[in-house]
Amino acid sequence: MDSAAYHKTVMALDIAGYNDPRRTAAHRLVVHEGFWRLLRTSFAAVGVPWVDLFQENAGDGAMIQLPAQVAKADLVAELPDRMLAELRRYNAVHAEEANVQLRVAFHAGEIHQGSHGTVGDATSHAFRLVEAPEAKNALKLSGATLALIVSDSFYHDVVRADPAANAGSYRRMRVSVKETKTEAWLRLLGAAVNGFPGRELPPPSAVEDVFSALVDALLAVPCVRGAESRRLLLDHFSRREIADLVPHHAEDRLHVIALARTCRRFTRGLADLLEAIRMLDPGSPQVDALAAIIDRL
């Protein structure tokens, strides 16, 4: 047994509803074969050799470990979309009882190689994430095809570090599974509205009009209008994943536009911005007008 630990990326995968009573043994066999085929195809498409991976079959899912030389940012930016494409191809030509929805969790940490497999807290943590009830419910209610869950550390260290990983498409969720109580980040792929259930979107022209009104309303609030007070607002904004991503512009309106656009990429981003503004400027008519516009959005 090798007593040394190696840093690896861990993927935990689960086929939603694998034991659904509508599935016969024949359906489950088709699902099983299709699942492993789409994994091989997806990894090949993003340039990760299958032989470089450590895999364990979990029956209704799998555990995959990737060596440290596989760039985490490239993996999370490219692999989920490739898996979604393969899932769509598979589901399009199979009966509903053999269709596949997946939950996939990413984490990273130190892994020991034992005589009958691998041992490490990172593996256990990844499986806790993939079993999170909120992820299961979100996948079911949204009608999405793929739920991507990343640990809090993976989100901050990897996803936020690369624009290609689309950090704004994730939302924070709480995880309480067995003895694990933590926070993670969820992205849904293949659902109708930005990955998450939602109302029918208004016409683009209407959205643009409301967004322009939003920018004007933000600039009407004193603590947002001034460059120094705006810097103070961002420094005290509790949503660091938003504040840290706002591009800086010397011109006030351009900076406020960037702030508004960044907040809109996050679930409750504008609502949380309004809460921060009210801490600095409570109860003014300008803030009330801003609140009405945010409610429309």
Buried b (16+ CB within 10 A) or exposed e, 182-197: bebbbbbbbbeeebbe
Residue 168 phi/psi, 5-degree rounding, is: -70, -15
Residue 37 identity (one-letter amino acid): R
Q: Please give the pLDDT value at position 16.
A: 93
- How far apart are alpha carbons 145 and 191 in whole angstroms? 7
pLDDT (tens digit per residue) in 31-49: 999 999 999 999 998 888 8
Given a cut of 70, the residues of the chain with pLDDT beneath it are 1-4, 112-119, 192-209, 297
Least Cα distance to 100 among 27, 149, 206 occurs for: 27
Q: Can you point out the beta strands (E) in the chain?
A: 2-15, 54-57, 61-66, 102-114, 117-119, 146-151, 171-177, 180-189
Rounded alpha-carbon distances, angstroms, from residue 278 to 210, 237, 273: 21, 11, 9
Question: Which tokens go with 218?
Answer: 């933000």
Count of other CB atoms within 10 angstroms of residue 204: 8
User: What is the percent of the chain with per-residue pLDDT over 70, rounded to a whole number?
Assistant: 89
Q: Please give the pLDDT value at position 189.
A: 92
Question: Which tokens go with 85?
Answer: 């494409």
pLDDT (tens digit per residue) in 185-242: 999 998 744 444 433 334 444 445 677 888 888 999 988 988 988 989 898 888 888 8
Within 13 Å, how many C-alpha atoms sit on residue 201's CB side?
10
Question: Which tokens go with 184?
Answer: 């993670």
Q: Please give the pLDDT value at position 89.
A: 93
Locate the domains of the chain by residue range: 2-189, 204-296
Q: Please give the pLDDT value at position 288.
A: 84
Fold (CATH) for 2-189: Alpha-Beta Plaits (3.30.70)
Q: Please give the pLDDT value at position 297.
A: 66
Rounded alpha-carbon distances, angstroms, from residue 22 to 17, 26, 133: 10, 11, 22
Q: Please give the pLDDT value at position 115.
A: 53
Rounded alpha-carbon distances, angstroms, from residue 95 to 17, 61, 176: 15, 20, 34
Within 13 Å, how many C-alpha atoms sit on residue 251's CB side?
4
Checking DSSP bridges between strand 146-151 and strand 102-114, what pairing results, if any? Answer: parallel
SS3 110: strand
pTM confidence score:
0.63
